[in-house]
């Protein structure tokens, strides 16, 4: 009979935060394009170094480099979801409570990924479309009183005949 594989305990928030910080420190190797200085062996060594640091900080659960790499991709996915939800909440209009702050893990993942991979901010030279819509609406409403006056006078003439 096969042995049942024991699950390791779930990653804690602190372990995830440390992982994100360590990936940030090694992002040149881990996120760099393959070339003479960035190799698959170099990336493997970086993940192993990260796992050793995590194991030294949290000795109760032994994590491998593969465990850390897999968890990093899970953290990226969760952080991207959290960041896009934060962006949606931040752009809502009306009353209500302000948008929740990003978690430390999501914020650290965002630092690693950079602005190019997670669309949270607009273009620096972009145009605020909501401001343009407000200006257009203001122009339309400022034309209403003269148009209403003309319509009323025309209606008055039609009704008097």
Grade residue 47 by pLDDT with cuts at 50, 70 and 90.
very high
Whole-model pTM over 0.85: no
111 and 156 housed in the same domain: no
Token reading at 28: 């040149």
Whether residue 5 lies inside any domain: the answer is: no
28 and 99 housed in the same domain: yes
What percent of the chain clears pLDDT 90, i.e. is strictly above it? 37
Token reading at 47: 């993940």
Number of independent structural domains in the chain? 2
Whether residue 1 lies inside any domain: the answer is: no
Whether 55 and 71 have beta carbons less than 8 Å apart is answered as no
Q: Which residue would you say has higher pLDDT here, 115 or 14? A: 14
Token reading at 128: 């605020």
For residues 18-29, give the mean pLDDT.
92
58 and 92 housed in the same domain: yes
**Measured distance CA(78)–CA(114) in Å, rounded:** 15
63 and 91 housed in the same domain: yes
**Measured distance CA(62)–CA(6) in Å, rounded:** 13
Domain that holds residue 137: 128-161
pLDDT score of 158 = 76
116 and 136 housed in the same domain: no
């Amino acid at each position: 009979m096969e042995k049942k594989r024991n699950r390791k305990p779930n990653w804690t928030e602190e372990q995830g935060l440390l992982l994100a910080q360590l990936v940030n420190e090694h992002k040149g190797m881990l996120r760099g394009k393959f070339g003479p200085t960035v190799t698959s062996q170099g990336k493997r060594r970086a993940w192993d170094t990260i796992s050793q640091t995590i194991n030294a900080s949290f000795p109760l659960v032994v994590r491998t480099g593969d465990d850390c790499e897999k968890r990093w991709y899970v953290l990226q996915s969760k952080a991207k979801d959290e960041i896009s939800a934060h962006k949606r909440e931040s752009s809502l209009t009306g009353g209500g409570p302000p948008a929740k702050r990003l978690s430390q893990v999501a914020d650290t993942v965002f630092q690693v990924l950079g602005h190019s991979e997670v669309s949270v901010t607009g273009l620096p030279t972009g145009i605020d479309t909501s401001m343009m819509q407000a200006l257009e609406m203001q122009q339309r409403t400022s034309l209403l009183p003269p148009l209403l006056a003309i319509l009323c006078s025309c209606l008055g003439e039609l009704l008097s005949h």
